Amino acid sequence: MPEPVKSYDRLAGWGAIVTGAGSLGEGIGTGKAISLLLAREGARVALFDLDHDRAAETRDLITGQGAEAKIFTGDVTDGEACAAMVEEAVQWLGRLDILVNNVGMGAGAGRLEAIAPAAWERGIALNLGSAYNMTRAAITALLAGEGKAVVNIASVAGVLAHGTASYGPAKAAMIQFTREIAVMYGREGLRANAVLPGHIMTPLVERFASPDARETRRLIAPLGVEGDAWDIAQAVIFLAGPEARFISGAILPVDGGVTQIAPLAAYEALTGESMTR
Ligand SMILES: NC(=O)c1ccc[n+]([C@@H]2O[C@H](COP(=O)([O-])OP(=O)(O)OC[C@H]3O[C@@H](n4cnc5c(N)ncnc54)[C@H](O)[C@@H]3O)[C@@H](O)[C@H]2O)c1
């Protein structure tokens, strides 16, 4: 998708926090795209990232367009760090309307025997604990804001097994965490929703996906289109904004349809060989 250019100022005056707001390399990762679109809609954006320089690229793109963003550096797997960063960010934002829990990645590859307990725990901390830490730290400020929106970036790996020891299980738990938050705080007007990215081309994926792997990923989904970070960001912007006021607890795959296709139909799409008709 080409970089979206329109801005509608839908979120003028709103404050947002995005975790993992930098990108792991050249190009546009999910947190960067989400931060840029939030800013274009008029929100002030607090950029949370482990790495100041990565977040600085996002900040410079935002401020270069005349919008406001500030970096808060720290590890979102650390609950105390999250509490301190959120306190500072809320002071700067003035008010908090949107929290996007975007940090997540695999930790340790291979079968169970190859994955040491520390690597497994890191996977759970990155993909589930981070959302707990951040939502817990931000909830009081969120409930005092106007938007009252939490958007969690889970994965299709949370609903379909890929043979991962911690990534898929943590993403599945993040999906359920989203529903639990929706129920826990619904009466106070807070909405919590999850976006499930499918096969998305981001700087992180570019590091390990060969051209053949990319082509296979593209072909296996019904749309036959390669997704990018803008596709995810557009869904997040909708779920976070006022038009989604009646949507909570939703689990939205943004995946070209890959979670809906039967394995045999996917085989057909890849090989052209007819298995089902
Ligand atoms: N890329 C895909 O194909 C794909 C598919 C499904 C789900 N997802 C999910 O989408 C989300 C975004 O993935 P992405 O690859 O676009 O990454 P991203 O580009 O959005 O985020 C990368 C940033 O996160 C920061 N970060 C990493 N660990 C951190 C930590 N502990 N604390 C603070 N910051 C940290 C890094 O420094 C980096 O700047 C993840 O939750 C991922 O699991 C991605």
- pLDDT tens for 196-231 read 999 999 887 888 889 999 999 999 999 999 999 999
Alpha-carbon distance 34 to 277, whole Å?
A: 41
Q: Whose CA is nearest to atom 24 of ligand 1?
A: 20
Alpha-carbon distance 96 to 102, whole Å?
A: 17
Two tokens, residue 33: 């795209």
Three-class DSSP category at 240? helix
Percent of the chain exceeding pLDDT 70 equals 99
Two tokens, residue 107: 């930790």
User: Residue ranges per domain, the chain?
Assistant: 15-210+225-259
Confidence of residue 6 (pLDDT cuts 50, 70, 90): low
What ligand 1 atom has the least distance to the C-alpha of 205?
A: 1
Answer yes or no: CATH 3.40.50.720 is held by domain 15-210+225-259: yes
pLDDT of residue 5: 64
Contacts 24+ apart (CB under 8 A), 219-223: 219/269, 219/270, 220/258, 220/261, 220/266, 220/269, 220/270, 221/255, 221/256, 221/257, 221/258, 221/261, 222/256, 222/257, 222/258, 222/260, 222/261, 222/269, 223/256, 223/257
Residue 249 gets the label, from left (phi > 0), alpha (psi -120 to 50) or beta, of left
- Other beta carbons within 10 Å of 233: 28
Q: Which of 182, 218, 184, 220 has the alpha carbon at shortest distance from 201?
A: 218
Confidence of residue 276 (pLDDT cuts 50, 70, 90): low
Q: Whose CA is nearest to atom 10 of ligand 1?
A: 153
Cα angle value 105/108/113 (rounded, 5°): 145
pLDDT digits (tens, 9 = 90+) for 53-66: 999 999 999 999 99
Q: Which residues line ligand 1 (CB under 6 A)?
A: 19-20, 22-24, 29-31, 48-51, 54, 75-77, 102-105, 126, 153, 155, 197, 199-200, 202, 204-205, 229
Would you tell me the crossing angle of helices 130-144 and 79-93 to the nearest 10 degrees? 30
Alpha-carbon distance 147 to 110, whole Å?
A: 41
